[in-house]
Amino acid sequence: MPATSAFPPRRLRHGLLLASLAAWAVLLTGGAWLNLPAYCGASARFVAPGWAGLELALVLNPPGGLAAAWLVMLLAMMPPLLDRPLGSLPECRRLRAAALFLLGYAAVWMAAGAMLVLLAIGLRAVLPGPGAAPAVAMLAAAAWQVSPWKQHCLNRCRDLAADRDALRFGLAHGGWCVGASWALMALPLTIESGHYAAMALVTLFLAAERQGHLPWSPRLSRAAP
């Protein structure tokens, strides 16, 4: 089998970039928004704190809308993380393999998103004050970042090689990347003011981590098996 590049073909990379830019445009123009603070009053104080607020939040945020908003967030944030796995796909029928990989990858992250969005809604409804949920989410993310389980997931996420089944590769890669990134991905969901800035910072951090530019990141292997 011929050696594979560490990066996907130019047209595939351009497609990912365009998808990301389109998703950011939708977010910034208000076309998709995780309506987590819908149960807040004009003074930004909780109208129904505690579990009553959680129940109201779930009523005001239909599952279809939350799923669509999470999908747009994934399209905005994830393309910078996919150069390496897409580049490891076999050159033969690479576009078809990439489509199957992305299908598996997105399926795992959509399933994880259901739990992360519910977690964010729960934190923002139950914890008092507008800054409590982001503070708890930040502490959880910091604790996960230095845990051995996070490092194990990151190693597997970055070193997993493509096999003949691109869909299975996408599912496996997505699973390990969820393990490595779930805490940081949950952080922007808890932030009302500065939500998009938090998304951008998390995206840059995850991209640098995947590329091995952070001190604790494992070194990249030279070529995929």
User: Which residue, among 114, 87, 74, 81, has the nearest Cα to 5 in the 3D structure?
Assistant: 87
Highest mean pLDDT among 40-44, 78-82, 175-179: 175-179
Question: d(Cα 192, Cα 40) in Å, to the nearest integer?
Answer: 11
Residue 103 pLDDT > 80, yes or no? yes
How many residues in the chain? Answer: 225
User: Which residue, among 65, 48, 66, 47, has the nearest Cα to 115 in the 3D structure?
Assistant: 66
184-208 mean pLDDT: 88
User: Which residue, among 115, 132, 119, has the nearest Cα to 192 in the 3D structure?
Assistant: 132
Question: d(Cα 36, Cα 41) in Å, to the nearest integer?
Answer: 12
Q: What phi, psi does 132 have (nearest 5°)? A: -70, -45
Average pLDDT for the chain: 77
Q: Determine the pLDDT at residue 77.
A: 92
Task: Give the pLDDT band of residue 109 (cuts 50, 70, 90).
Answer: very high
Q: Determine the pLDDT at residue 160.
A: 67
What is the Cβ-side half-sphere exposure of residue 195, based on CA atoms within 13 angstroms? Answer: 21
Contact 6, 83 (CB under 8 A): yes
Question: d(Cα 41, Cα 29) in Å, to the nearest integer?
Answer: 23
54-88 confidence digits (pLDDT tens)? 556 666 667 777 788 889 899 999 988 888 888 77
Residue 100 pLDDT > 50, yes or no? yes
Residue 159 pLDDT > 70, yes or no? no
Q: Determine the pLDDT at residue 60.
A: 67
Q: 9 vs 136, which has greater pLDDT? A: 136
Please give the structure tokens belonging to residue 55.
């129940």
Task: Give the pLDDT band of residue 104 (cuts 50, 70, 90).
Answer: very high
